[in-house]
Amino acid sequence: MIATDAYFPNDQTSNGEAKGTEDEGKIKMMKARSNNRAASRGYRLARAALMCGPGSKICPPDRAIELLEAIIEPGDRVAIEGDNQKQADFLASALANADPARVHDLHMVQSVLALPDHLAVFERGIATRLDFAYAGPQSRRLAELVASKALKIGAIHTYLELYARTLVDLTPQVALVVADKADRNGNLYTGPNTEDTPTITEGAAFRGGIVVAQVDEIVDHLPRVDVPGDWVDFVIPSPKPYLIDPLFTRDPAKIRDENVLMAMMAITAVYEPYEVRRLNHGIGYATAAIELILPTFAAQRGLKGKIASHFVLNPHPTLIPAIETGFVDSVYCFGSELGMEHYVSSRADVFPIGADGNLRSNRALAQVAGQYACDLFIGGTLQIDAQGNSSTATKGRITGFGGAPNMGADPRGRRHDSPTWLRAGREAGESLRGRKLVVQMVQTRQPNGAPSFVERLDAFDLAASAGFALPPIMIYGDDVTHVITERGVANLLRCRSVQEREAALRAVAGDTEFGRRQSPDASDDLRRRGIVMFPADLGIDVATATRDWLAARTIDDLVRASGGLYVPPAKFRRAVATHS
């Protein structure tokens, strides 16, 4: 830095003006610039003061809409939970019922579009722009609104990517969050389902934003403090408990023999030879089948203590038998799972449990753990093309990505090694680094009969119709190391050309148009070279790949395995009654 005092007298500037006058002007400009956020925040808080008692942060629920209309200004960025599981549903309804004449042209920033109210704000003109990560439950409706120009999507993000941008260029002026309990100072207790709450809150609280929390109850003393009260401006006790979805629960009764076969191949072709101990499972019946044959098939192969010991995962009920048989050492969680609360609390050696006796989850940190601390990601998709690119964006649906691209990517910043990482790197021909295992596990046809393997992803058409710069590809083909179908396993690490990768994918695509374009001789050559492995090549008799391997075959079996600690949600209790 140049010291200007060395060039100009203390009482004179470069243009000869009195220096004191210039400095005063600069100070005023700096104060004006630095106080913009504080001034805006002050005006908003003053308008909202009428909704709460003197010196109170508690807003009555019947004044929630008034509160939002007081603190939100046209054109604001607003973040709302919108998580994978728990929803600030009361606040979502209040925002959707605000007066569009007062609240309009909002830019919504949220990880998940799960509720009709999340899209009602666009239909009513309250919001016009959206940045998000996942929209599974609302994917078709979202596509319709985009097609009708009712909203403009800024970008479809991964979870971690969206969280990062809320701290940089998508900082919300208002954050609407949800927690289990609050005290009168605004301290929040999120219980086992912390998920996104601290991350969303921090993005707003430290940039002059307003934070409103919906809670189930106000108490005098919290079991623990998950979000400090000085980050929170208003608390609204909701008339009913917030909505939470058992997103990761899979009924073992719906696991088919084909899922068991694919699970057996995954263990034999991937988990065992690569000694996979640190891993993340995506949602699906195939991965649920893997969890349920760890205590049976994997144990029979002598793999206890050698594979699948450290998970980054929500508390999947289908993991209970593996935990109870000592297969699993630890599970770090994105969020909780409805009905698993008591079971998780009683397994403090496995799950991260606070002094209050409940799970402490964190989606942002779990995404980091899934990307950097895990050696394997395995999950499903809807479409795979000839280059191995996969996408969940199909015709008429904008599903988004969620966290799969974070976990399902080879992290170039990784520097610690492991046997799994090093072996995968050697197979890929790497000499200076290892590789993360990224496995796509998909049946050759989707439940509706649509082929999973295609020459061209629907994502390309979606990009053109929605105005995206690039097609929304979930996992890029050059990150994918293995593809598993009911036909067999394609080990893409061993491929040395684009043509070989394509041939390996066609070999496991089964009786689809994509698969029929390759001769049996070409597939047999890939099998001889160990690039493609069918069940017989792995020593698996397809006739024995049945549900008999499952350590639990019904929800009721999971309850018994938990010692009665797992309490299935209502829709799964109906299944229990059916199987009894």
Say whether pLDDT at 37 is over 70.
yes
Assign 3-state DSSP to the chain and report helix, strand, coil percentages, each to 5: 40, 15, 45
Strands 489-491 and 532-533: antiparallel
**Distance (Å, whole) CA 507 – CA 564:** 45
CATH 1.10.10.10 holds for 252-556 = no
Q: What mean pLDDT do residues 481-502 have? A: 97
Ordered alpha helix ranges (H), 97-176: 116-123, 139-147, 159-166
Q: At residue 244, what is the residue type?
A: I
Superfamily (CATH) of domain 58-242: Glutaconate Coenzyme A-transferase (3.40.1080.10)
Residue 417 has a CB neighbour count (10 Å cut-off) of 11
Q: How far apart are CA 471 and CA 393, in angstroms?
A: 9
Distance from C-alpha of 174 to C-alpha of 73, rounded to nearest angstrom: 9
pLDDT at 6 over 70: no
- CA distance to 255, 287, 300, 306, 565, per residue, from 268 (Å): 19, 14, 12, 13, 32
Q: Mind listing the pLDDT tens digit for each residue in 314-359?
A: 999 999 999 999 999 999 999 999 999 999 999 999 999 999 999 9
Q: What is the mean pLDDT of residues 10-26?
A: 55
Average pLDDT over residues 493-521: 96
Pick the more confident residue, 170 or 572. 170
How far, in Å, CA of 346 to CA of 353, rounded? 9
Nearest to 140 by CA among 154, 155, 119: 119
Strand ranges in 196-353 using DSSP code E only, listed in sequence order:
210-218, 234-237, 243-244, 278-281, 310-312, 330-332
> Given this model, what pLDDT does residue 572 score?
87
Q: pLDDT band for position 29 (50/70/90)?
A: low
Rounded Cα distance, 371 and 163, in Å:
15
* Nearest in space to 557 (alpha carbons), one of 195, 276, 210, 292: 292
Q: Is the pTM of this model over 0.75?
A: yes
Q: Tens digits of per-residue pLDDT, 512-564?
A: 999 999 999 999 999 999 999 999 999 999 999 999 999 999 999 999 999 99
pLDDT at 505: 98
DSSP labels, 384-437: E-TT--EES--TT---B-BTHHHHTS--TT-----HHHHHHHHHTT-SS----E
H/E run at residue 258: helix 257-266
What confidence category does residue 465 fall into, taking pLDDT thresholds of 50, 70 and 90?
confident
Among 569, 93, 52, residue whose Cα is nearest residue 340: 569
Q: What is d(CA 435, CA 159) in angstroms, rounded to the nearest whole number?
A: 22
- Bridge partners for 214 per DSSP: 178, 236
Q: Which of 496, 483, 497 is nearest to 428 (CA)?
A: 496
Q: Could you read off the pLDDT of 406-446 as tens digits, one per residue?
A: 999 999 999 999 999 999 999 999 999 999 999 999 999 99
How confident is the model at residue 575, as a pLDDT? 47
CA 470 to chain CA centroid, Å, is: 21
Q: What is the pLDDT of residues 257-311, one digit of tens each?
A: 999 999 999 999 999 999 999 999 998 999 999 999 999 999 999 999 999 999 9
Chain mean pLDDT for the chain: 93
SS3 556: helix
Read off the tokens for 385. Answer: 């093309």
Provide the pLDDT confidence category of residue 206 given band limits of 50, 70 and 90: very high
Q: Can you tell me the mean pLDDT for 78-101?
A: 96
| Rounded Cα distance, 558 and 549, in Å | 15
* Beta carbons of 260 and 547 less than 8 angstroms apart: yes
Give the integer Cα–Cα distance in Å for 142 and 127: 13
Q: How many CB atoms lie within 10 A of CB 32?
A: 10
Question: Residue 173 is encoded by which pair of tokens?
Answer: 């002026």
Give the Cβ contact number of residue 299 at 10 Å.
16
Secondary structure class of 279 (helix, strand, coil): strand
Q: What are phi and psi of 206, to 5 degrees?
A: -105, 15
Write out pLDDT tens, residues 41-83. Answer: 999 999 999 899 888 999 999 999 999 999 999 999 999 998 8
Angle at 399 (CA atoms; ends 72, 153), nearest 5 degrees:
40
Q: For residues 119, 282, 558 and 540, what is the CA-based torsion angle, rounded to 10 degrees?
A: 140
Interval 123-139: pLDDT, tens? 999 999 999 999 988 99
Please name the helix (run of DSSP H) or strand (run of DSSP E) that holds residue 90, with its range, or none: helix 89-96
pLDDT score of 498: 95
What pLDDT shows up at residue 36?
A: 84
Tens-digit pLDDT profile for residues 352-410: 999 999 999 999 999 999 999 999 999 999 999 999 999 988 888 899 988 999 999 99
Whether 511 contacts 452, CB under 8 Å: no
Average pLDDT over every residue of 504-510? 97
Q: What is the pLDDT of residue 3?
A: 45
pLDDT digits (tens, 9 = 90+) for 138-195: 999 999 999 999 999 999 999 999 999 999 999 999 999 999 999 999 999 999 999 9
- Average pLDDT, integer, range 201-218: 97
Tell me the average pLDDT across 209-226. Answer: 98
Q: Say which residue, 27 or 383, is predicted with more confidence.
A: 383
Two tokens, residue 552 = 């639990």
pLDDT score for 198: 96
Asked if residues 238 and 216 have their Cβ atoms less than 8 Å apart, the reply is yes
Integer Cα distance of 84 and 73 in angstroms: 27
Residue count of the chain, please give it: 580
Q: How far is CA 567 from CA 249, 321, 343, 430, 550, in A?
A: 12, 15, 9, 47, 20
**Arithmetic mean of pLDDT, 453-464:** 93
Whether the CB-CB separation of 223 and 192 falls below 8 Å is answered with: no
Report CA-CA distances (Å) from 489 to 91, 95, 223, 235, 298: 47, 48, 48, 52, 18
In the chain, ranges of CATH 3.40.1080.10 domains: 58-242, 252-556
